[in-house]
Amino acid sequence: MWSVVWAAVRSKAPYVTFPVAFVVGLVGYHLEWLLRGHPAPTAEEEKSISEQREDRKLQEIAGKDLTKVVSLKDKLEFAPRAVLNRNRPEKS
């Protein structure tokens, strides 16, 4: 008889577990919201990730002179040194 009961419990466990977990999560979410309150968003949180990235890049290049770049003629390495460094002569 016990084997039949345990088989029934095992087969119906997902149907019982999901609603219980859903209710516990819902109650916990609202309880945490009530305890913490809803803080006002800061200016940093209002910006999207791409906007934050663009702002950071602009701050990084603000003090640099962008006209000074290395000529491609002076560059011998077009691939990482670890990949094609075996048969290439050293630049003098």
Digit-coded pLDDT (tens) for 21-54: 999 999 999 999 888 877 666 666 678 889 989 9
Q: Are 44 and 52 in contact (CB under 8 A)?
A: yes
Question: What pTM was estimated for this model as a whole?
Answer: 0.38
Residues 76, 90: contact at Cβ < 8 Å? no
Which run of H or of E encompasses 27? helix 2-36
pLDDT tier, 15 (very low <50, low <70, confident <90, very high otherwise)? confident
Angstrom distances, CA of residue 91 to CA of 8, 72, 81, 86: 77, 14, 12, 13
Distance of CA 10 to the CA centre of its chain: 37
Q: Answer whether 24's CB lies under 8 Å from 32's CB.
A: no
